[in-house]
Amino acid sequence: MGLLRHILRSMLFLLLASTFLFAGPTVKPGTVFSADQVWYKAFKPVLEPGPPGAWDALGVYGPSGRLHEDTYQLWYVAAGVGTGVGYASSTDGIWYTKFTGNPVLQGGIPNFDDLGIVDVSVLLDRGYLSGHYRMWFTGATQGTQFPAYRIGTADSGWGHPEGPWTKYFAPVLDMGESGSWDGFGVSGPTVLWDERARIYRMWYTGWNLDGENAIGYAVSADGYEWTKYHENPVLQDAWPSLFDAPTVVKIGDFFWMWYHDGKVGYIRCAYSEDGIHWTDWVKPVLKPGIVWDYVSSYVSEPMVFTRDLNTPLWQDSERLKMFYVADEYGKEKIGYAYAYFGMATLPLFMDTMYHQTYFINADPSRSQYTAYDSLSSGILYGLCLTGDQYQGFDTNPNWVMQFPIYDLDCQCWDFSQIGSLLLRGKWVVTMGGRAVNSIVNYYEVSLARTPIYVNINTATQTYEFVNRLSGTVAASMPFSTDFAHNDLAVIMQLTGDENEIMIIYGITWRGTWAGGIYFKNVIWKGWYAQDMVGYNYVIVRWTDSDNDGAPHPFNPAEIVPVTYGFG
């Protein structure tokens, strides 16, 4: 095990309510707090060392992975000096087949990676070399006293994850000046292409001569020429710092980082608006134990990813996926974990590629108020990464079931399927209550699958948002509320018929409008994303502070969260 490896160890009723113009609202508050980040581990390592004599017989580590269409792609590094990068693939994320031509990339350039490659980050590029698989890796060479580490890059051409890989002739990110925080070496890159900003972003580990390490940041227009952030490092512990091996995912307008804390051997998490200023998650998110890694003293080198933007949705709806490294009886192996990230991943609805997201709202012919639902939906459509998504109404017979089905068993017509989606593997955004929106009616009433449902309580004279799981009232407003200036709205997600579904509606159309604004200004921006992890609904309250009769898109005091939850 090389020196670097040694250091890495040390609305039926909802719309009707819009006609009720009766004084100030009373809201039943809920508890707002941050949920734990729960990761579920696979029962076994998903990639193990090869048999004796194989190139990767001493151990496997440094995973970089992604889900492309229906294939999990995994690149990794083998333990030992002089070894390189391997490739493996899987259709279920658990059982992998190694490429017979491994290793797909090896060291060999003098004064750069002649001692081998120690970690890797792979990206299917949509930027400078769009359509190419691109790799950034750490090369090791002999320094004056110890090995030196620099980051290089390689390109496999159009759509070939296994290669052949062509290595760029020189390092693209070098260590800093002697005595600086990264003066001993740079390693462990994680690179993402930011489609909205049209730049490459890299986070990496920097080492000093005392073996301390922290996480730095750099940007590039082409993936070759990188500019380090002038106030690096961007994430560090109290010295001696042992933060390393970052992996970063952008969800909406927010960055999430998972990294290894070498002091305790755990994987931690942080989040950021700009990728530079980070707020640390309170608790470690992954520790050794429970499954195969219970014998290991550490878990490290996380690689977190979401579905590829072109990947059809899976019924199990795993929001985030992680490869990680642990030791089992003296050999490093790669494990797998997944998390249901909940509301925090709703911005992914806006980040799909062409023709994957459907904005389906109630047909305006049913009510004059549904036109406002479509306007609210337009707020979300405007956030889409690509403009080539679908917009339409729930009366489209190619998207939504329109008619009852004749049941031969009971010799009767079954109306319960009206409003069910005929789409499969799509992202569906729909707005408006069950009274006018047949999709919402299907999932909330016929299928009883929504985490929140509305109840009109005539005994208490209130409109109630009820948590389906607990049966408790999450929020409510009296019939006497002046709904022209006050409202409640729910934003929730569920999986149905192999589709991801986001539903937004208020007690009146103004509430639906407020829900769309809240999604744009808060959820998509990620301002409270850390509070929404693990939840599948949020309820917000609109109060018309400027008395103009409509939710204000730029006044955050008008639309505030009442409660989050899981239902």
Count of CB atoms situated within 10 Å of the CB of 10: 11
pLDDT-derived band at 144, boundaries 50, 70, 90: low
pLDDT for 411 equals 73
Average pLDDT of every residue of the chain: 88
pLDDT tens, 507-522?
999 999 999 999 999 9
Q: Across residues 305-316, what is the average pLDDT?
A: 62
Percent helix, strand, coil in the chain (nearest 5)? 10, 40, 50
> pTM for the whole thing?
0.89
- Tell me how far apart the alpha carbons of residues 72 and 324 are, in angstroms, rounded to a whole number: 15
Q: Measuring CA to CA, which residue among 147, 159, 133, 5 is closest to residue 64?
A: 133
Q: Measuring CA to CA, which residue among 77, 64, 208 is closest to residue 124?
A: 64
Count of CB atoms situated within 10 Å of the CB of 70: 10
pLDDT for 21 equals 24
- Tell me how far apart the alpha carbons of residues 139 and 111 are, in angstroms, rounded to a whole number: 9
Q: Across residues 175-189, what is the average pLDDT?
A: 93
C-alpha distances in Å from residue 527, one per residue of 253, 522, 534: 9, 5, 16
* Contact predicate 131/193, CB 8 Å: no
Asked if residue 447 has pLDDT above 50, the reply is yes
pLDDT tens, 457-486?
999 999 999 999 999 999 999 999 999 999
Which of residues 309 and 396 earns the better pLDDT score?
396
pLDDT-derived band at 90, boundaries 50, 70, 90: very high
Beta pairing partners, 90: 72
Contacting residues for 57 by C-beta, under 8 A, at least 6 apart: 49, 50, 51, 78
Beta pairing partners, 140: 116, 149
pLDDT tens, 378-411?
999 999 998 899 999 999 999 999 998 777 777 7
Domain with CATH 2.115.10.20 in the chain: 42-340
Beta strands at 266-272 and 254-261: parallel, antiparallel or unpaired: antiparallel
Beta pairing partners, 486: 543
Beta pairing partners, 279: 271
Asked if residue 32 has pLDDT above 50, the reply is no
Asked if residue 164 has pLDDT above 90, the reply is yes
- Tell me how far apart the alpha carbons of residues 425 and 204 are, in angstroms, rounded to a whole number: 35
Element (H, E) at 382: none
Beta strands at 85-90 and 97-98: parallel, antiparallel or unpaired: antiparallel
Asked if residue 340 has pLDDT above 90, the reply is no
pLDDT tens, 327-338?
998 999 999 999
User: Of the ranges 67-71, 100-104, 109-113, 156-160, which is most confident?
Assistant: 100-104
pLDDT for 310 equals 59
Provide the percentage of residues in the chain whose pLDDT is more than 70: 91
Asked if residue 24 has pLDDT above 70, the reply is no
- Tell me how far apart the alpha carbons of residues 339 and 361 are, in angstroms, rounded to a whole number: 30
Q: Edge to edge, what strands does the sheet with 60-68 contain?
A: 60-68, 71-78, 85-90, 97-98
pLDDT for 33 equals 42
Beta strands at 147-158 and 452-457: parallel, antiparallel or unpaired: unpaired
User: CATH 2.40.50.840: does it fit domain 42-340?
Assistant: no
Provide the percentage of residues in the chain whose pLDDT is more than 90: 66
Which of residues 86 and 10 earns the better pLDDT score?
86
Q: Across residues 214-233, what is the average pLDDT?
A: 97
pLDDT tens, 109-131?
988 999 999 999 999 998 899 88
* Contact predicate 539/30, CB 8 Å: yes
pLDDT for 317 equals 55
Asked if residue 2 has pLDDT above 60, the reply is no
Determine the 3-state secondary structure of 519 from DSSP: helix
Asked if residue 448 has pLDDT above 60, the reply is yes
Asked if residue 66 has pLDDT above 50, the reply is yes
Cis peptide before 189 (omega within 30 of 0): no
pLDDT for 148 equals 87
pLDDT tens, 523-556?
998 888 888 888 999 999 999 999 999 998 888 8
Q: Across residues 453-457, what is the average pLDDT?
A: 96
pLDDT for 3 equals 33
